[in-house]
Amino acid sequence: MSINQAVQSLSARVQELKPIIETEEATKTAFIIPFISTVLGYDVTDPREVIPEYTADVGVKKGEKVDFAIKSGDDFRFLIECKKIGEPLNISHANQLVRYFNVTDTEFAILTNGEVYEFYAQLDAANRMDEKPFMTLDLSNVDARIFPHLEMCTKSKFDFETIAASAEQLKYISEIRKVLSTQFKEPDAEWVKLIAARVTTRRMTAQNLETFTKLVETAQSQFLKDEANRRLRSAQDFDDVSTAVEKSPVEEKQGEENVVSDGVVTTEEELQAYSIIKAICCADVPVADIALRDAKSYCAILFQDNNRKPIARLYFDRRVPRIGIFGEEKSEQYFDLETVEDIYQHADLLRKRCQILKAE
């Protein structure tokens, strides 16, 4: 099972069982132990790998424990502190995790309530756990961009140097996004002055600052709307790509099976699939390089809007919807879909295809 499939499976389990979980112990059993096993890939029945209720010899309060310690040989890989599902995660309420992190040789820690998993490192100061996570996995709203970074944390792919480098990048990108989000909602004086300095030589008096604050708010709002409209226009590009790539006999047969109308209409399901594919592939290629073109027989997902560089095709007009994912030499592999979200199960193939196209 791929990391993508493992996460999606656990996500479905959380949504199904969450309403009936009432205690921290039940949360561990239902969600956190399966996470350690199926997502991270550790043997939860082997005390040499996974130690429940771990107690350190020195440096912590008497009787204080951390819920799980994950080891490889003599080395600590993760310390995990658990809360009941639904309980907000706050590092100030996980003092024992911080203390254990500081007195053991572990490099990484996880604070979780079974649905949200916060990953911590020691990027700000040596031998001291950071106050903010470098990565967050939310099983109620899975961001496919996290999969490559999460895979680095698995038993088979674990490499400290790689994770540390990735952690630093992820942490700062996350913080920068939060800053941008805040400034776009309500720009502060320093942000307004920074932008104003690029467009005017006026001195920023109180009156000018008030004027430019309103201008910046308006410009940012218009920019976001323009970007949304640009992406929507891209998704509604109805150019027929059927003549661009020679159809195989299998494709011709599929074309006969498809039920199409006289015109080309991009459906909500196709747009949703397009968004999922962009979320999966953005770890390997820029989102702007992933384009949609609709046709009567299928909806094409292209690299750099080039019909000679197909990533996938969506066959959603059939009785059983399917996706065709291209491999080397434009060979197409087909998968039936029960729901649009099933596309996540084929994330590895989609990413591999993008990597091939990017390298060409």
The pLDDT score that the predictor gives to residue 44 is 94
Mean pLDDT on 273-286: 86
Amino acid 216 reads V
The token pair that represents 236 in the structure block = 């509604």
pTM, whole model, 2 decimals? 0.59
Mean pLDDT on 327-333: 82
Question: Backbone phi, then psi, for 155, in 5-degree steps?
Answer: -55, -45
Mean pLDDT on 28-50: 94
Mean pLDDT on 117-133: 86
Q: Where are the beta strands (DSSP E) in the chain?
A: 50-54, 66-72, 75-82, 108-112, 116-120, 135-138, 290-294, 299-303, 306-315, 322-326, 332-336
219-244 pLDDT, tens digit each: 988 887 777 666 655 545 433 343 34
Question: Residue 2 belongs to what H/E stretch?
Answer: none
Q: 258 with 317: CB under 8 angstroms?
A: yes
Listed ranges 22-36, 148-162, 323-337; the one with the highest mean pLDDT:
22-36
The token pair that represents 88 in the structure block = 């907000």
Contacts of 156 (CB under 8 A, 6+ apart): 41
Counting Cβ atoms within 10 Å, is residue 225 exposed (0-12), middle (13-18) or buried (19+)?
A: exposed
Amino acid 284 reads D
CA 292 to chain centre: 21
Give CA–CA dist 190/298, Å, rounded: 50
Confidence bin at 324 (pLDDT 50/70/90): very high
Mean pLDDT on 159-174: 83
The sign of the CA dihedral 235, 237, 242, 246 is negative
Confidence bin at 57 (pLDDT 50/70/90): low
63 φ/ψ sector (left φ>0, alpha ψ -120 to 50, else beta): left
Beta bridge partners of 305: none
Contacts of 255 (CB under 8 A, 6+ apart): 247, 297
Q: 1 with 149: CB under 8 angstroms?
A: no
Contacts of 202 (CB under 8 A, 6+ apart): 196, 208
Length of the chain in terms of residues written: 360
pLDDT at 206 over 70: yes
